[in-house]
């Protein structure tokens, strides 16, 4: 069993380490700075596991232990490779006006961003809360299934539904396709910070949505890839000329994007992460 289960993967956090191979971090809750290795932050013990409730102890403590964690680990090797490729292309001055991604790269980036969003505990908590709609347990058929599962010593429906819900939400075979599809329909570009550094957080993906005809659509979605490069998907036309290309930002524009993490709840984006303590301190001073 993997005990420390990261919701922000270490391969991503490694892009923000300093010369000492540590992350500079500001804890919004405790209002303090500290340094830490990527292994020791942005994880929860047994985050992706589901406890058997009221079940036969012989079934073990968790339903299908480590299955989701192993699936995420396999995905991460693919996502790590595409990020390295994109970053290397963007770092080469010869590619200043070049198209960055081929068709396969675009699909993988959309999956990566979706994965980074849906695996976060803040999102998972909301998904878990919506597992059981109001009154579902009053349904006669559900009650009959519940009784049958108790009779088989599986502890009823709730544990199994929660486990299935996590699997559908996080496993590579089921990763929320609608989010990926929405991303592929948006303009996307790579933001380049020339005179400032991007920071990230324990909730790296910032997003805006709008509702239309009883459905929620993505409007803007943003994630830094390293201190100099960020990925932006947008429905607007402002960045349309830079589709699949680099767009160079002023220091003030980078600062504006960095400020976005402070619009999140403390529990959502508790840790602000940078590779440079000076950049981090300046950002915190602006907020104060």
Q: What angle do CA 112, 258, 48 make, to 5 degrees?
A: 40
DSSP characters over 221-261: EEEEEETTEEEEEESSSTTGGGTTSEEEE-HHHHHHHHHGG
Per-residue pLDDT of the chain (288 residues; tens, 9 = 90+): 899 999 999 999 999 999 999 999 999 999 999 999 999 999 999 999 999 988 888 888 999 899 999 988 888 999 999 999 999 999 999 999 999 999 999 999 999 999 999 899 998 887 776 666 656 677 788 888 888 888 888 887 888 888 888 888 887 666 667 888 889 889 999 999 988 999 999 999 999 988 887 788 889 999 999 999 999 999 988 889 999 999 999 999 999 999 999 999 999 999 999 999 999 999 999 887
Structure tokens at 77: 């090797």
Cβ proximity of 259 and 242 under 8 Å:
no
CA-wise closest residue to 207 among 117, 268, 79: 117
Q: What angle do CA 70, 74, 80 make, to 5 degrees?
A: 135
């Amino acid at each position: 069993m993997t005990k420390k289960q990261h919701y922000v993967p270490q391969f991503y956090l490694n892009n923000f380490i300093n010369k000492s191979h540590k992350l500079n971090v500001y804890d919004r809750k405790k209002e303090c700075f500290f340094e830490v290795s990527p292994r020791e932050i942005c994880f929860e013990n047994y985050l992706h596991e589901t406890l058997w409730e009221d079940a036969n102890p012989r079934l073990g403590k968790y339903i299908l232990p480590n299955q989701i964690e192993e699936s995420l680990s396999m995905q991460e090797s693919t996502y790590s490779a595409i990020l390295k490729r994109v970053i290397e292309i963007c770092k080469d001055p010869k590619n200043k006006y070049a198209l960055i991604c081929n068709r396969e790269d675009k699909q993988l980036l959309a999956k990566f961003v979706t994965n980074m969003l849906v695996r976060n505990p803040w999102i998972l908590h909301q998904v878990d809360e919506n597992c059981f709609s109001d009154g579902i347990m009053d349904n006669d058929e559900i009650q009959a299934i519940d009784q049958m599962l108790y009779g088989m010593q599986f502890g009823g429906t709730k544990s199994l539904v929660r486990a299935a819900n996590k699997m559908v939400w996080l496993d590579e075979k089921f990763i929320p396709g609608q989010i990926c599809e929405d991303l592929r329909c948006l303009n996307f570009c790579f933001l380049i910070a020339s005179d400032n550094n991007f920071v990230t957080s324990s909730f790296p993906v910032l997003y805006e949505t709008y509702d239309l005809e009883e459905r929620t659509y993505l409007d803007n979605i943003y994630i830094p890839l390293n201190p100099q490069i960020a990925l932006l998907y947008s429905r607007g036309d402002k960045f349309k000329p830079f589709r699949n290309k680099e767009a160079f930002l002023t220091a003030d524009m980078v600062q504006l994007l960095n400020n976005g993490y402070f619009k999140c709840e403390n529990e959502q984006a508790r840790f602000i992460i940078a590779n440079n303590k000076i950049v981090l301190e300046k950002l915190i001073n602006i907020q104060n």
